Structure 1
């Protein structure tokens, strides 16, 4: 324990010491008279002066003599020397604090310092304590949450804070319950809603990683994240050569798609990336080239994609073949139709999180965004998708902050539920340490402390240290109970002991002593009421309070907890061709009707009027989708389409093999080139072109006859 500081407060006694020295000098004046009997006259004058002082204790001026000032000086110096020596010899003492000073915090006093008077501007923790979201409290918004299964991590913490609607939110949502229950509130508050749904991609917004690559370094970070996310957890690290070779190969193709796809009238997305990867072959014949070789050969020698590809191809043939096979194996999950649908185009607009929506070409810096990442809690097959998203999201947020003096105009709070199942950026701990200045807060949520150790091993303490607040919602894990007990600290308590000695000379005694005791023992932590939680804030005494209840929030009536659940999906046109398969008198319920049935408990059946409206809406939606498809198709075609020959068009445009085959078949059917070009321009699909070929052949036969 540190030594006590010197207390200058004792110097307040110096005037008293000076007064006493002055009086003592006057009392002893007789003993300093010369040419007299010092003892007799001294005692006589001592008695006289004592009587005078007793009668007039404050008659100071009449007691002055030539020795008064030296007496005052000597007396004061003696006092100071004694005081300082006593301090230097004194042992460190903390009466009543010998074993610890832990205690529960005074909530009302802490609210005055740490809570905003406007309750909507706070982060909620307990029913009677909340923390302001800005820098006035001197704390970051990083919160580590520990809570076992069923402790209420969503219902008792994440949900109520989403309904505060005071920041942009990024929320990991296992199973999709958070989206369902709380999104309606955010919609009512004017939020933009973005959802990445790997459970049901049909209900997901699109996410195209290529839309957020701003510099070459971003490609390296994204590929590193892909490799991390597609490497099985717990897999033994082999020779780093293979991963580095895979990375080099993917870098070359990424750079090609990034800089050349649009010039080749190809969409700049993962579908193109996978298509080009599939062209990679190691040719057996000497001098033979693969389709991918020809692609890179056409590039300028200084092109970063070509330079990277040449580095990769400098390896031996068998080695390259192994690397290519390994890359195909690694990227196999990307071949899923649902995942490819997500990667087709970008609708996430990551810039909106910290800068607001785009209005007339400028970010409005006020419209908040809520982005939900829906993942399964029982299958990690596609968790590489949110891993890629989080990597790019933090890159974009930091880049956006640099536009505004390193401070985002809209605060962003990230709630990472089931943190252990998310592959975060490799530099996540650095992000945690620096995000406060960018107006970003992160909330990693764990079931127990062992999950943190499993992810970060020796750096687990760093993750906790980067979070100024810890919320414990309860749990039974022994390590967590011990950790919470130790974090709360020890208090000093009085211990009373008594003893009795029996017999002829019996006696009894009692004694009191002090001892240390944990504020809560591990056993008490484990038996904590399920309605209570503990909040520990840096620099403050801990708080023990009642957990939040999402249904008691003032906006709860707008949520799916009471009202209609939120569903995020695009309306799928009704496939009326399937109506013929419906049996007679069979009742048909749409998805909307089923949810209405579940909500109200009433039996709802489709009326004729409803079916007509749904059919009309489906037809309109189908027309709109067809219009959008044709627009995207024409965007792929060369700008000088009309001036080019059919051969030139086919050479400049990357069509699928099946489409190329049907075009060749049309030419072989002697359909005029102008008409074949019109097929392409009108975005006819293979089936329609086949039909046109049949019609043309019928007409040819008719003309011959």
Structure 2
């Protein structure tokens, strides 16, 4: 056993040993007290106590040692029970311990390199790594900035992090909403110098916006269905819809046309402009039921070459639905 452990044990149990040795004198005083009745014993004990304690040495009589052992063990048990059931008080914190954090509090959550952090304030940053040296310091990287108009949300948070650009260890891209239209002007040149490619999407002034072609991201039949679903969902007006037949017919027509453009048309024609041109050429003759518009001819020709084509199958379902409504 090391000296450190031994000193701890002595400091912990020595007081109870001393109490036990002193208590042997109580056993001796009780043993020397005369009287057969309990009351007589207690009265006599008052006389024997001064005489017994006049001798500082403990008694080694078995009965006296037993009394001392019981007193020492009882005192140790009482202290243990009191400590186990004791309430933990935080004096001076009766109304809570919340406080504003400082540089020392945020230090474990910051990366050593400045550029490897999300800038929060002049002295506070948050590491971008999801695997810090100490796992308990890992934090969510989402930051909520709350402030009124003109409080500096853009000036003191968005712009510093944009101008920091990316680090070699954590290359990042930025998606920024710019209602005022000032961030691109003020920070765009710095981003270009760091090798970023800037893309602007302006839903207010289309002359200042780059174009987005959803058809460029179609790679399978599932993508065609997803695009049509998104298109119909976002162009549907408010309120209750009418007969669901029309929605189904619209879905079949759009799926067939977009699938045709994806699988058969040149890349430069795979866009919504071509889709609108196809829709504009789909005239219907009320006098001639055998009339075929240019789109009908396109799918008829494709059906001869590729009868199992996804676009052809969807267009046939659309024509069946159209014929069904005409017969009604």
- Aligned-residue offset at 1:94: 6.7
Who is 1:69 aligned against?
Answer: 69
CA distance in 2, matches of 1:247, 1:99: 62
1:254 matched to 2:227? The reply is no
CA distance 1:94–1:304, shift in 2 (3 Å) = farther
- Cα offset, 1:310, TM superposition: 3.3
Preserved contact between residue 29 and residue 42 of structure 1 (Cα < 8 Å):
no
1:544-693 matched pairs, under 5 angstroms: none
Q: Which residue of 2 aligns with 1:504?
A: none
- Equivalent in the alignment of 1:523: none
Please report the TM-score for the alignment, with normalisation by the length of structure 2: 0.71
For residues 159-308 of structure 1, the aligned pairs below 5 Å read 159-166=159-166, 167-174=172-179, 176-197=181-202, 204-231=209-236, 235-239=238-242, 241=244, 242-243=246-247, 245-262=249-266, 267-284=269-286, 285-297=288-300, 298-299=302-303, 300-308=306-314
1: distance between equivalents of 2:283 and 2:152?
Answer: 53
Residue 101 of structure 1, CA deviation: 4.3
Seen in structure 2, the aligned counterparts of structure 1 residues 188 and 237 have a Cα distance that, compared at 3 Å, is: same
Q: 2:114 aligns with which of 116, 119, 122?
A: 119
Aligned residues: 296
Match of 2:53 among 50, 53, 60: 50
Secondary structure, counterpart of 1:169 in structure 2: coil
CA distance in 1, matches of 2:33, 2:91: 57
TM-superposition CA deviations, 1:375-423 (whole Å, max 9, x none) = xxxxxxxxxxxxxxxxxxxxxxxxxxxxxxxxxxxxxxxxxxxxxxxxx
Which structure dedicates a bigger proportion of its chain to helix?
Answer: 2
Partners of 2:178 and 2:277 lie apart in 1 by: 32
| Offset of residue 17 of structure 1 | 7.0
**Distance of aligned partners of 1:151 and 1:98 in 2 relative to their CA distance in 1, 3 Å threshold:** same
Matches within 5 A, 1:15-94: 15=13, 18-19=16-17, 21-23=19-21, 25-33=23-31, 38=41, 42-43=45-46, 46-53=49-56, 65-81=65-81
Per-residue Cα deviation, 1:131-178 (whole angstroms, up to 9, x for no partner): 222223422222334443333333332222110102221222335322
CA contact (8 A) 1:31 1:39 kept: no
Indicate conservation of the 8 Å contact 1:197/1:203, yes or no: yes
Match of 1:662 in 2: none
Pick 1 or 2: higher relative contact order, CA cutoff 8 A, min separation 6.
1
Distance 1:251 1:69 in 2: 93
Deviation at 1:244, TM superposition (A): 5.0
Structure 1 residues 150, 318: closer, same or farther in 2, change over 3 A?
Answer: farther
The structure-2 alpha-carbon separation of the partners of 1:289 and 1:67, relative to structure 1 and needing over 3 Å to count, comes to: same
Secondary structure of 2:65 counterpart: coil
2:59–2:65 contact (8 Å) kept in structure 1: no
Going from structure 1 to structure 2, the CA distance change for 1:288 and 1:141 (only over 3 Å counts) comes to same
When residues 239 and 116 of structure 1 are mapped into structure 2, their CA distance, relative to the original with a 3 A threshold, is: farther
Report how far residue 40 of structure 1 moved.
Answer: 7.6
Deviation at 1:230, TM superposition (A): 3.5
Alpha-carbon separation, structure 2, partners of 1:82 and 1:159: 59
Higher Cα radius of gyration: 2
In the TM superposition, what are the counterparts of 1:102-141 in structure 2 within 5 Å? 102-103=98-99, 105-135=100-130, 136=132, 137-141=137-141
Report if the CA contact (8 A) 2:28-2:59 is conserved: no
* 8 A contact 1:282–1:290 mirrored in 2: yes
Please list the CA deviations of residues 451-488 of structure 1 after superposition, one character each: whole Å capped at 9, or x if unmatched. xxxxxxxxxxxxxxxxxxxxxxxxxxxxxxxxxxxxxx
The question of whether the paired residues in 1 share the 8 Å contact of 2:27 and 2:68 is answered with no
Contact 2:115–2:164, Cα closer than 8 Å, also in 1: yes
Residues 1:276 and 1:207: Cα distance change in structure 2 (over 3 Å): same
Is the Cα contact below 8 Å between 1:220 and 1:251 reproduced in 2?
A: yes
Residue 176 of structure 1 aligns to a residue whose secondary structure is coil
Q: 1:71 to 1:101 in 2, by over 3 A?
A: closer
In the alignment, structure 2 segments of 5+ residues that lack a partner are 1-9, 36-40, 167-171
Q: How many angstroms does 1:108 deviate by?
A: 1.0
Secondary structure of the residue aligned to 1:174 is coil
Matches within 5 A, 1:377-456: none
The structure in which a higher percent of residues are strand is 1
Which 5+ residue runs of structure 1 have no aligned equivalent? 1-11, 321-705
Give a deviation string over 1:524-562, Cα, whole Å, max 9, x none: xxxxxxxxxxxxxxxxxxxxxxxxxxxxxxxxxxxxxxx
Q: Are residues 1:153 and 2:166 paired? A: no
Distance 1:77 1:129, change over 3 A: closer
Alpha-carbon separation, structure 2, partners of 1:257 and 1:83: 80
Root-mean-square deviation (CA, aligned residues, Å) is 4.0
